[in-house]
Amino acid sequence: MNDRYLTVAEVTDSARQLVSRFPGTARLRRIGTSREGRPLLMLSVGHGPHHALVVAGPHPDERAAAGTALAVAKSAARGDRLSAATDPSLVTWDIVLCLDPDGAALAEAGAHAGRGLGRDFDPVSVPDLGSGSGPGFGPGLGPGSAKTPASLASYYRTAYRPVAAEQPEWAPVAAHPIPETLALLGVIDELRPFVQCSLHSTDVGGSWVQLTRDLPGLAVPFRESAEAVGIPLQRGTYDALYWENPSPAIYVLPPPDSAVRLAAGSQDIARSTWCAPQHHGGVTAIVEVPIWATPMVADTTPEPEAARTLSDLADLVRDGGRQVTAVLGKARGFLPPPETDPLRRVLEWMAAGLYDLVATSWQPLAQQAAAAKTPDDPRHLTRAQVTTLDIVARRQPLRAAGLLLRLLEASDNSAAPALHDELNGLFATWCADFETAVHPRPVPVHAQVAHQTRTAVAAVECALKALGPD
């Protein structure tokens, strides 16, 4: 298998092939139009009374989801019935192929450096999900000899993620719904899915699942799937700093009346599309897989210097942000305006306070760690928790620097080359320091897809069991 990420055009073409091979079972329809006029397409497979909604491409820099979407569709279209979740007479899979095609176009234009499933990818020859011990788990999807993803430097030089107000899942929280958001909310109200799987990736770390309601039974197949492809379970995550943690690397949103919701902005999460299925009794599973893995995110050994380390990390993200913003300040006069340039909008959004927001978000954890008195005090943070925040602190300036380097390379202003060289020196140092700090190992794209696919199928089966007998 060609181990490279699918483009939006490729996933659309593969979906059409699937429909032609399974007429009647698979259908493709347009559910809306993006802000720039691109179609929002949904592939539906099966005719079951229970609808499982899959959202691929919510973030354009998280590209494994395209392969996952097609792997899930292929399994359901075949009607393999290896689990109840893939029985087309019981479950209809409704798969949004790319929720943010505008952002994907910018990400793909970065340098075409992403690798994954290729143009010759056959949607009917995705590896079998198997019939192993857990829901959606089986043989044949372990580590292989596939090509590795690009380097950290090339990733951050080409990655793009829009400002929060332009991210379809989060636009209702940051500002107001955008057309992509409204299309997704319309599908949710129309189909009333009992489960929604939102497919995400993290640059460096491990795998984890965030749930809007607990799904008993998911922990075992999730763990077994990760082990099969050598992906560590991430025992701590910035994305769910204060969520409940009923089992390793599974995080459950606290109830609305919980004071914990006030931490890290979780009090506003009810307005996101993640929570929309709750209005119809459904649950959402956010499935994260890493592009690079590090075993450090699975180390539950107490970190004795956690309070000091978190203070250092706060300084790290602020200092990096200040340095990128200083270069941006010198270039503002000749860069395209943020009103017309999405990369510039991200840079201005980050410069306006995102670095400080990140740095202060883990302050309660630092205070908790500082209060720990004995070696077995439960207030101690683990090395895994500290490592996940280390990754976040290094990620933010690198994201910004990568975007600004792209803008400087595209500029014909005489000041651009010198500013580019200045920033590129920082960028190279930060990438090298990142690799030294966490020792990342590239995860083959097919392994990312296999694990995310099995986890999504397992989540759907667990949600189906929770419905009880019809």
Q: In this predicted model, what pLDDT tens digit does every residue of 356-376 receive, in sequence order? A: 999 998 888 899 899 988 878
Average the pLDDT over 155-160 and give the result. Answer: 93
**266: CB partners within 8 A, 6+ apart:** 242, 243, 253, 254, 260
What average pLDDT does the segment 392-408 reach? 97
Contact of 251 with 209, CB cutoff 8 Å: yes
The closest alpha carbon to 98, from 166, 184, 4, belongs to 184
Q: Higher-confidence residue: 70 or 256?
A: 70
Question: Residue 351: which H helix or E strand, with range?
Answer: none
Distance CA 425, CA 345 (A): 23
Burial 239-252 (b: 16+ CB within 10 A, else e): bbbbbeeebbbbbb
* pLDDT digits 0-9 by tens, 280-292: 999 999 999 999 9
Q: pLDDT band at residue 260, thresholds of 50, 70 and 90?
A: low
Lowest mean pLDDT among 223-227, 233-237, 239-243, 462-466: 239-243
Q: At what angle do helices 383-410 and 342-349 cross, to 10 degrees?
A: 140
Q: Is the whole-model pTM more than 0.75?
A: yes
The tokens describing 303, both together, are 């970190």
- Residue written as tokens 């965030």? 210
Please enumerate in sequence order all residues whose Cβ is within 8 A of that of 224, keeping only pairs 6 or more positions apart, or say none.
132, 133, 134, 137
Share of the chain above pLDDT 90, in %: 76
Q: Is the confidence at residue 161, as pLDDT, over 80?
A: yes
For residues 407-415, give the mean pLDDT: 97
